[in-house]
Structure 1
Amino acid sequence: MRPTFQLKTLAVAVAAFSVASAASAAGLDRSGQDITAFFQDGLYAETVYTYIDADVSGKDSANVVPTSNTYVEGQDTGDIAESYDFFRYGVKADINDTFSVGIIYDEPFGAAAEYKESNFVAQSGDTREATITRISGGLIGPSSPLGVTSFAQAQATVNALQRKIGLGGTLTPQEQGALTALAPAVGIVNGEFGTAGQNTNVEVRSENLTAILGAKFGANKEFQIYGGPVAQRIQAEVKLRGLAYGPATGYTSNSNPNMDYGYIAGMSYSKPEIALKAALTYRSEIDHDLDVSETYPLAGTLAGNPAAATQNSNYRITTPKSVNFDFQTGLNPTTLATAKVRWVPWSDFAITPPLYNEVSKRSYGPNGLNLVDYDDDQWQVELGVAKRIAPALAVSGTVGWDSGTGDETTSLGPIDGYYSLGLGAKYNFTENWAVSAGGKYLWFGDAKGRLPSGKIVGDFQDNDGYILGAKLSYQAKQGF
Structure 2
Amino acid sequence: MRATFHLKTLAVAVAALSVASVASAAGLDRSGQDITAFLQDGTYAETVYTYLDADVSGYDNDYVGKDKNAYQQGNKIDDIAESYDFFRYGVKADINDTFSVGVLYDEPFGAAADYSGDNNFVAQGDRDAVIKNVTGNPAYSEAVIDNVVIPTLQAQLAPGNPKNLTDEQLKEARANYLGVLTAKKAADAEEFTKGEGTNVEVRTENITAILGMKFGENKNFQVYGGPVAQQVQADVKLRGLAYSAATGYTAHISSDQDYGWLAGVSYSKPEIALKAALTYRSEIDHSSNIDETYPVVAALGGEANQGNKLDITTPKSVNFDFQTGINPTTLATAKVRWVPWSDFAIVPPLYNEVSKRATDDDKGLPLVSYDDDQWQVELGLAKRLTPALALSGNIGWDSGAGNPVTSLGPIEGYYSVGLGGKYDITENWAVSAGGKYLWFGDAEGQIPTGDIVSDFESNDGFVLGVKVSYQAQ
* TM-score normalised by structure 1 residue count: 0.91
The answer as to 2:279 corresponding to 1:281 is yes
The answer as to 2:93 corresponding to 1:93 is yes
1:323-358 Cα offsets, whole Å, 9 max, x none, are 000000000010000000000000000000000000
The answer as to 2:237 corresponding to 1:242 is no
Identify which of 454, 457, 463 aligns with 2:459.
463
2:120 aligns to what SS in structure 1?
A: helix
Counterpart of 2:19, as a letter, is S
Counterpart of 1:86, as a letter, is F
1:187-245 Cα offsets, whole Å, 9 max, x none, are 32122112111010000000000000000000000000000000000000000000011
Query: Separation in 2 of the partners of 1:138 and 1:100?
Result: 66
Counterpart of 2:394, as a letter, is T
The answer as to 2:241 corresponding to 1:217 is no
Which residue is equivalent to 1:421?
A: 417
The answer as to 2:20 corresponding to 1:19 is yes
1:90-129 aligned within 5 A: 90-117=90-117, 118-124=119-125, 126=126, 128-129=127-128
Query: Separation in 1 of the partners of 2:22 and 2:138?
Result: 40
1:214-363 aligned within 5 A: 214-303=212-301, 308-363=303-358
The answer as to 2:130 corresponding to 1:141 is no
Q: CA 1:141–1:343 in 2, change beyond 3 Å: closer, same or farther?
A: closer
The answer to whether the 8 A contact 2:134-2:245 is kept is: no
Q: CA 1:151–1:471 in 2, change beyond 3 Å: closer, same or farther?
A: farther
Query: Separation in 2 of the partners of 1:468 and 1:446?
Result: 23
The answer to whether the 8 A contact 2:321-2:334 is kept is: yes
2:71 aligns to what SS in structure 1?
A: coil
Counterpart of 1:123, as a letter, is Q
The answer to whether the 8 A contact 1:352-1:372 is kept is: yes
- Aligned-pair identity in percent equals 64
Counterpart of 1:258, as a letter, is D
The answer as to 2:372 corresponding to 1:371 is no
Shift of 1:263: 0.1
1:415-473 Cα offsets, whole Å, 9 max, x none, are 10000000000000111000000010000000000111110000100000000000000
The answer to whether the 8 A contact 2:286-2:311 is kept is: yes
1:151-200 Cα offsets, whole Å, 9 max, x none, are 57767889999999xxxxx9944641332331332232122112111010
Which residue is equivalent to 1:83?
A: 83
Identify which of 399, 402, 414 aligns with 2:395.
399
The answer to whether the 8 A contact 2:323-2:331 is kept is: yes
1:33 aligns to what SS in structure 2?
A: coil
Shift of 1:394: 0.3
Query: Separation in 1 of the partners of 2:283 and 2:454?
Result: 31
> What's the Cα RMSD here?
2.4
Counterpart of 2:35, as a letter, is I
1:132-156 Cα offsets, whole Å, 9 max, x none, are 24653437538x9xxx714577678
Query: Separation in 2 of the partners of 1:48 and 1:454?
Result: 39
Query: Separation in 1 of the partners of 2:195 and 2:66?
Result: 21
2:37 aligns to what SS in structure 1?
A: helix
Query: Which sits farther off after the overlay, 191-200 or 267-276?
Result: 191-200
Counterpart of 2:60, as a letter, is D
Instruction: Count residues with an aligned counterpart.
Output: 458
Query: Separation in 2 of the partners of 1:460 and 1:131?
Result: 23
Shift of 1:129: 4.1
2:38 aligns to what SS in structure 1?
A: helix
Which residue is equivalent to 1:167?
A: none
Counterpart of 1:455, as a letter, is D
2:175 aligns to what SS in structure 1?
A: helix
Gap runs ≥5 in structure 1:
165-169
1:33-89 Cα offsets, whole Å, 9 max, x none, are 000000101000000000000000001001244675421110110000000000000
The answer to whether the 8 A contact 1:269-1:278 is kept is: yes
Counterpart of 1:74, as a letter, is G
Counterpart of 2:131, as a letter, is I
1:100-121 Cα offsets, whole Å, 9 max, x none, are 0000000000000011021100
* TM-score normalised by structure 2 residue count: 0.92
Query: Separation in 2 of the partners of 1:90 and 1:325?
Result: 18
